[in-house]
Amino acid sequence: MEFPMRINKYLAHTGVASRREADELVAKGKVKINGKVAEMGQQVQESDTVEVIGKTKAKSYLAYYKGRGIITHSPAEGEVDIAGRLAKDYGITHVAPVGRLDKDSEGLIILSNDGRITGPLLDPEADHEKEYDVTVDKAVSGMFLRAMANGVEIEGYRTKSAKIEQHPRNDKRFNLTITEGKKHQIRRMCAALGYQIQTLKRVRVANIALGKLKPNQYRKIEGHELNEFLEEIGVS
């Protein structure tokens, strides 16, 4: 973080509250800087001590790599879910997955205890981008690429336009960016065109990228990345 910064921006950077919520807390006199009640728009220095009075647990946002075979929610007997894996391996119990990724798929899941982001992030009309690295069972044709980009008929529904880019060194592999998220959508799109998916990895949601994470690894979403994410989904 770069100092000095306005108090609402500081609280947003540290995951305590959105900027709007921070302004409300300051207006109610619930924020102190170095023991004194903060004023609206007050600047925070790196050496300052900031206290939020009566504020419940801080909001947390994590980017997590769900491996293949791991269940997102509600595991059956003998299955392993994300919450169980995080609790066992890292002692993390305060966040939950936002959205789903099917058992045979892998990649990015956003985890949070901020209930405000669930509806806006998963809203199919909001057009938030989700990018996937996909490998199918045979070389993709130009017709396949055009069809995936323009929309595919799946069970009476035509998918929205998408962005697709073939891998330069693997003619069975491509990156697909969609703005909706119907159940098993990419698998159904490929199947409708005569292709079967071999691997499916989500590599980005909105501005949050999987990056160098490996299966069962996570990182915090914070600072500018968090602000950009919250602003994009309309809860900043």
Instruction: Give the catalytic positions in this structure.
Output: 102
Give phi and psi for 217, each to the nearest 5.
Answer: -100, 155
The closest alpha carbon to 144, from 162, 129, 130, belongs to 162
Cβ atoms of 148 and 160 closer than 8 Å: no
With helix as H, strand as E and coil as C, how does the chain read? Answer: CCCCEEHHHHHHHCCCCCHHHHHHHHHCCCEEECCEECCCCCEECCCCCEEECCCCCCCCEEEEEECCCCECCCCCCCCCEHHHHHHHHHCCCCCEEECCCCCCCEEEEEEECCHHHHHHHHCCCCCCCEEEEEEECCCCCHHHHHHHHHCCEECCEECCCCEEEECCCCCCEEEEEECCCCCCHHHHHHHHCCCCEEEEEEEEECCEECCCCCCCCEEECCHHHHHHHHHHHCCC
Beta bridge partners of 150: none
